[in-house]
Structure 1
Amino acid sequence: MRKVHFIARVRQQADKRQIVQTGFTLIELLVVFTLLALLLTLATPRYLKTLESGKAKVQVQNMATLRDAIDKFRADQGRYPAQLEEIVAKQYLRQIPLDPVSGTHGWLTVPPPNTEESGIYDVRPPEPVSATAASAPPADNATGSGQSVTSVDNPGLAPASGTGR
């Protein structure tokens, strides 16, 4: 009978050890969370930088697509389109591409350098509107080349600097 009592006592002690030994200590959890936080601080800036460069590459591709459609329109119609929506209406594009950086369809349009022609010669990405630029009236000749630049969504935006293509 003593053997049975001894075996039962050994089992009880083994069960108590298992209960105590299951789980993690607070120190172990703190070390793991500290390592995770360290890895996140190293990886997050690189991830965000990759997102921004991806948006910039898509923006360049969308501008190339718009410029190609404008060139095809000019070759077929013998004139530049009056609005970007005309390119969509004549089925040169399914829709005006979205600018991934600004999140709008508000491309800045550039008229032809030849003053005898009218329409859209080139497109540029919309410029971010700052608080001071939004309150200032747009300049008449901000490109320095005699060209004016207008926005598709908001004609009151300040023109971009520089020349076309």
Structure 2
Amino acid sequence: MSPPRSPGFSLVELAISAALLGILASALPPVSEVASRRRAELELRRTLRSVRSAIDLYVEDRARSEPSKPRPALYPRDLDELVAARYLRRVPKDPMTLNADWRLIGTGDPPDPADLSLALVTQAPAEDARVWPTQHPGPPASAGPRGNLFDLRSSSTGIALDGTRYSEW
């Protein structure tokens, strides 16, 4: 008859288990970093969508109440005007920079090269439209919009998980 085994783990089993747990734990930080970036990107998309919807609603409401005004004059001067008119509760923070430092695009600003390249694909452009991006780079991020507020972009210089720049969204 053989001696009974004690009901526990051997030192080898514990060492192997600890090594496996260590390997699995080392994979968690990159996964959590990607998940965190994905959450921030989703929040950026939601924020952009809500602010752009507020701008559109503001313009449509003003067009109904002031039909004789030209369309560019119907846009808000800035984000604070949307807050004052109660189209936004507050000026949102950019989830990528954690500040309210948006790149504002005005009705008088030249087209954004990203938007212009989309226009080149979707419609027949004028002859000189092909050279717009190199001739007219647009205002720097620190400059305010020319004219009334037409759109906004993130001021982040980061690159999204899909390879696009946050500032192009």
Q: TM-score range by the shorter chain?
A: 0.5 to 0.7
Tell me the residue number matched to 1:122. Answer: 151
Aligned partner letter, 2:84: A
Is the partner of 1:121 in helix, strand or coil?
strand
- Return the alpha-carbon distance in structure 1 between the equivalents of residues 157 and 43 of structure 2: 17
Figure out how many residues of one structure are paired with residues of the other and give that number: 114
Distance 1:35 1:41 in 2: 10
Contact kept? 1:84, 1:96, Cα under 8 Å = yes
Q: CA deviation at 1:92?
A: 0.4
The answer to whether structure 1 residue 74 and structure 2 residue 103 are counterparts is no
Indicate if the aligned counterparts of 1:82 and 1:118 stay in contact, CA closer than 8 A. Answer: yes
Alpha-carbon separation, structure 1, partners of 2:43 and 2:14: 42
1:31 to 16, 21, 28: 16
Which has the larger Rg? 1
Identity %: 27
Q: Superposition pairs for residues 4-153 of structure 1, below 5 Å?
A: 27-78=12-63, 79-113=74-108, 118-128=147-157
Counterpart in the other structure of 2:135:
none
Once residues 107 and 23 of structure 2 are traced to their aligned partners in structure 1, the CA distance between those partners, rounded to angstroms, is 53
Q: What value does the CA root-mean-square deviation take over the aligned residues?
A: 3.2
Which ranges of structure 2 fall in alignment gaps of 5 or more residues? 1-5, 64-73, 111-145, 159-165
Query: Shift of the alpha carbon at 1:111?
Result: 0.5
CA distance in 2, matches of 1:45, 1:25: 33
The residue type paired with residue 86 of structure 1 is: E
Q: Distance in 1 between matches of 2:155 and 2:77?
A: 18
Contact kept, 8 Å, 1:102 with 1:128, in 2: the verdict is no
CA distance in 2, matches of 1:33, 1:49: 26
Q: Decide whether the 8 Å contact of 1:59 with 1:100 is kept in 2.
A: yes
Cα separation, partners in 2 of 1:114 and 1:128, compared to 1, 3 Å: closer
Q: Is the 8 A contact 2:54 2:88 kept in 1?
A: yes
**Runs of at least 5 residues in structure 1 that lack an aligned partner in the other structure:** 1-20, 130-159
